[in-house]
Amino acid sequence: MKLLIATRNVHKLQEIKAIFNMPAIELISINDFQSLPEVVEDGSTFESNAIKKAVILAMSSSLWTLADDSGLQVDCLGGEPGVRSARYAGEPVNYSANNAKLIKAVIGMRERAARFCCAIALSSPSGRSQVVMGTCEGSIIDKERGSNGFGYDPLFVPSGCRQTFAEMDDASKNKISHRAIALNRAIETWGEMLKSCPSDWTLQARRSGRSERQVSEE
């Protein structure tokens, strides 16, 4: 079956494909479609944004859809940047500007505990959804280190580690990251169900009233 990943972010898509690797499930992205609606992420939580994206795009594409919303919460900043992580420094999304703003905000702060959070939502083509969460605890440093990853990775040191996410190779990061934890929970929660879902042409046949053979031969 085809599973739509609700993102245009190439870096995020690469991470998801590396972790959510299941036989018989083909992962495709919004970039594979000419016209799918842009979803405004205006929720107050990561969960609400992930569910909104998954449901709207699943119903628009008639495909099972996996969506994530993730971001950074810094305790000394009252949980900022939170759901505004991608656009912390304003529009358009600019990772360097976001990091510069974060460094300026934590200057002089002794306690810089932080966590990356990731909500993963799955929606059926009919709009029924579920969500799981993953978090990775760590702290914020005051100077970027490393060139891998994206976003706030050069400023985030996971608990128990000396390297930032951006100094780790992909395999190391994908063992402990918030997205890896959430995706592994998604596999545990929904994996067997997804593997048993009917193929896309079977779903089309049921909707149209035609035989599965008719649809598969088109």
Going residue by residue through the chain, which has 218 residues, state the pLDDT in tens, using 9 for 90 and above: 899 999 998 888 999 999 998 888 999 999 999 889 999 999 999 999 999 999 999 999 999 999 999 999 999 999 999 999 999 999 999 999 999 999 999 999 999 999 999 999 999 999 999 999 999 999 999 999 999 999 999 999 999 999 999 999 999 999 999 999 999 999 999 999 888 876 543 444 344 443 333 322 33
Three-class secondary structure of residue 105 per DSSP: helix
- Provide the residue range defining the domain that includes 150: 2-216
Contact 119, 182 (CB under 8 A): yes
The angle formed by the CA atoms of residues 134, 164 and 159, to the nearest 5 degrees, is 55
Q: For this structure, is 170 an active site residue? A: no
Q: Residue 95 burial (CB < 10 Å; 0-12/13-18/19+)?
A: middle
Give me the DSSP letters along 15-33. Answer: HHHHHS--TT-EEEEGGG-
The domain that contains 13 carries what CATH number? 3.90.950.10
Three-class secondary structure of residue 191 per DSSP: helix
Contact 165, 158 (CB under 8 A): yes
Determine which helix (DSSP H) or strand (DSSP E) holds 98, and give its type and residue range: helix 95-106
pLDDT, position 24: 83
User: Phi and psi (nearest 5°) for 11?
Assistant: -65, -45
Rounded Cα distance between 7 and 33, Å, is 12
| Catalytically annotated residue among 32, 42, 69, 170 | 69
Three-class secondary structure of residue 43 per DSSP: coil
Residues whose CB falls within 8 Å of the CB of residue 206, separated by 6 or more in sequence, listed in order: 198
CA distance to 55, 65, 177, per residue, from 165 (Å): 31, 27, 8
Query: What domain count does the chain have?
Result: 1
pLDDT, position 198: 61
User: Phi and psi (nearest 5°) for 26?
Assistant: -95, 120
Contact 43, 52 (CB under 8 A): yes
